[in-house]
Amino acid sequence: MSFADLGLTPELLRAVEAEGYTEPTPVQAQAIPHVLAGRDVLAGAQTGTGKTAAFVLPILQLLNANRPTPKHPIRPAGKPGRGRLGARPLIASGLPVRALVLAPTRELALQVEEFVRTYGKERPVRSATIYGGVGYEAQLTAIAAGPEIVVATPGRLLDLVEQRKIDLRSVEILVLDEADRMLDMGFIRDIRKILALLPARRQNLLFSATFADDVRQLAATLLQDPAEVQIARRNSAIETVRQVIFPVDKHRKKELLTHLIQSGRIDRALVFVRTKHGAQRLADQLYRDGISAAAIHGDRSQGQRVKALDDFKEGRIAILVATEVAARGLDIDGLPHVVNFELPTVAEDYIHRIGRTGRAGMEGDAISLVCLEELELLNDIEALLRKRIKDELVPGFELDRRASAEAAHQVRSYSGAGRSRAGTGRSSDGRGPRRRTGRPEGARSHGVSTHAPRSHGSSAYGTTHATSHAGAVRPRTGGGQTGLSAMPGESFARDRAAS
Ligand code: AMP
């Protein structure tokens, strides 16, 4: 299957060729013909599968094929919604907005627009990106220029609608990108308000990595006779990522990371930590150690985040330290390493994190620095992956015996007390109530209270949660696969099995 077989125009074919794509990814091969045919599409695909091009390419083609001229302006395809906002007179100027892409985060929105520009190189289509956390001026200027494609996060878009700065009554194509993330982040009400502002007759595309009940409900109300596209589970996509665990005492993680960078084991990496403060502290510490590093997290201004990301993409800094939310959906070409400085408290987030590397068939490397206190989280991750991740002890970083024993004791007594397993929503006995340990940055910064993970019976990751932990991860005795012969290594391996 080639891009030409999909029915794309020569200029778009040249644009994908210029990007070095030789053949469409599965989501592109399946979705593009349906989008070009004007159908609604429900696609189960996540970041890293080429999903952005799967909607941006055909949308560019549709918009170019049917552009309004001053003589024959395209009228709104249907009546605007009759909500409070839809009824107001609008003062927006310029050409009508014809395609609207809603995305969960500003970083993702910016990336989508970057693809609009990249693929539309030969026949540019005017676009604007709208997201919160920055001043209005630049966005208002972009809107005033009359963008045909608007890529937006829901909150700021509604804000601008309320200010009557943008008119959505001519939208012909709506895309919900990473719908599950948007719902996780509490955007459902905003999304529904936006839907009420759009013409009733339009083409709708919904992309989501997972299909819990809330996503299905939204899809049912939004899509008409959709073509369904389901891409291979993420678990198979991440097979191109080499995963390794470096056991380390908690208080020596920074030192180990510095060592791995200075010894050349890690050259360029996205490093995940759990908290905003942790991200900043780690970036500062690396910087003091002479390593070019920056942090992106919710406390940094949008300008700082964009600059850090640009510096990292352009190779001016080697290490980008990020929290889960800040890094969500980031697309960084050819990222060789992802480092979990701390394991995520929700097992699925591990898969999202390591999905930043090994994209589109490239090999990637995911390194996790795991201390004994994190063994339970590790077990949850391995249960989700249904495989054991190889561990390697780094010489000079053997675990401290006393500290290890103490931590292991804590882990065991904690889990013995009936602690819920993070990310799986099951307690140690597999029957307890769902509870999420810890609270990721996103839960706070988006005003969403801590919530239990959704049922994953129908998720794109498969039915992992139906599997019991004991069955999913076989306990191993003795040292790790790489000769953890010293007592500290044995202790780690034993505690892995025990936790
Ligand atoms: P996405 O899933 O949209 O975040 O895309 C992930 C990455 O895959 C991006 O860096 C794209 O540039 C890249 N990509 C998209 N389509 C293709 C393709 N057909 N062949 C190779 N790489 C691709």
CATH number, domain of 140, equals: 3.40.50.300
248, 131: one domain: no
94, 214: one domain: yes
Last residue of a domain, one of 230, 261, 280: 230
Please work out whether the CB of residue 48 comes within 6 Å of at least one atom of ligand 1.
Answer: yes
Last residue of a domain, one of 196, 230, 264: 230
202, 280: one domain: no
Q: Report CA(246)–ligand 1 centroid distance (Å).
A: 30
pLDDT 10s digits, 80-137: 444 444 444 344 445 699 999 999 988 899 999 999 999 999 999 999 999 999 999 9
Please work out whether the CB of residue 356 comes within 6 Å of at least one atom of ligand 1.
Answer: no
User: Quick check: is 236 in a domain?
Assistant: no
pTM (predicted TM-score) = 0.55
Q: What range defines the domain where residue 93 resides?
A: 3-230
pLDDT 10s digits, 193-238: 999 999 999 999 999 988 878 888 999 999 999 999 987 554 444 5
What is the average pLDDT value for the chain, to the nearest integer? 77
Please work out whether the CB of residue 118 comes within 6 Å of at least one atom of ligand 1.
Answer: no
Q: Residue 84 burial (CB < 10 Å; 0-12/13-18/19+)?
A: exposed
- The yes-or-no verdict on residue 290 having pLDDT over 90 is yes
317, 211: one domain: no
Total domains in the chain come to 2
Tell the residue nearest (CA) to atom 16 of ligand 1: 50
User: Quick check: is 473 in a domain?
Assistant: yes
Nearest to 302 by CA among 447, 97, 138, 480: 138
Q: What span, in angstroms and rounded, lies between the C-alpha atoms of 200 and 195?
A: 9
The pLDDT value given to residue 410: 53
212, 265: one domain: no
Q: What span, in angstroms and rounded, lies between the C-alpha atoms of 71 and 448?
A: 48
Maximum distance among all Cα pairs of the chain, rounded to whole angstroms: 81
Q: What span, in angstroms and rounded, lies between the C-alpha atoms of 272 and 254?
A: 12
User: Quick check: is 439 in a domain?
Assistant: yes
pLDDT 10s digits, 387-416: 889 999 999 998 876 666 665 555 444 333
The pLDDT value given to residue 408: 55
* CB contact at 8 A, 458 and 215: no
Q: Give percent of the chain with pLDDT exceeding 90.
A: 49
213, 262: one domain: no
217, 272: one domain: no
226, 247: one domain: no
User: Quick check: is 114 in a domain?
Assistant: yes
Using 50, 70 and 90 to split pLDDT, how confident is the model at 300? confident
* CB contact at 8 A, 52 and 216: no
Last residue of a domain, one of 166, 200, 230: 230
Q: Report CA(350)–ligand 1 centroid distance (Å).
A: 20
- The yes-or-no verdict on residue 10 having pLDDT over 50 is yes
Please work out whether the CB of residue 51 comes within 6 Å of at least one atom of ligand 1.
Answer: yes
